[in-house]
Amino acid sequence: MSAAPHSLRRADDAAERDLAQTLVQFIRDEIPLARAMDLSLQCFSADRISLAVPLAPNVNDKGCAFGGSLVSLMTLAGWALVELALRRRGDDCDVFVGESTVRYLAPVWSDFRADAQLAPGADWATFFDTLDGRGRARIEVVCIVPGEPGKSAATLSARFVAKRRASH
Positions in the binding site for a second copy (CB under 8 A): 26-27, 30-34, 36-37, 56-62, 66-69, 71-73, 75-76, 79, 94, 96-104, 107
Q: Between 1 and 56, name the residue whose CB sits nearer to a second copy.
A: 56
Q: Between 3 and 56, name the residue whose CB sits nearer to a second copy.
A: 56
Burial string for 100-133 (b: 16+ CB within 10 Å, else e) reads beeeeeeebeeebbbbbbbeeeeebeebbeebee
Alpha helices in the chain (DSSP H): 6-30, 32-37, 67-88, 124-134
Q: How far is the CB of 15 from a second copy (least distance, A)?
A: 22
Q: How far is the CB of 106 from a second copy (least distance, A)?
A: 11
Q: Between 71 and 131, name the residue whose CB sits nearer to a second copy.
A: 71
Distance from C-alpha of 37 to C-alpha of 24, rounded to nearest angstrom: 13
Q: Between 14 and 96, name the residue whose CB sits nearer to a second copy.
A: 96
The CA-CA-CA angle for residues 117, 126, 167, to 5°, reads: 95
Q: How far is the CB of 113 from a second copy (least distance, A)?
A: 16
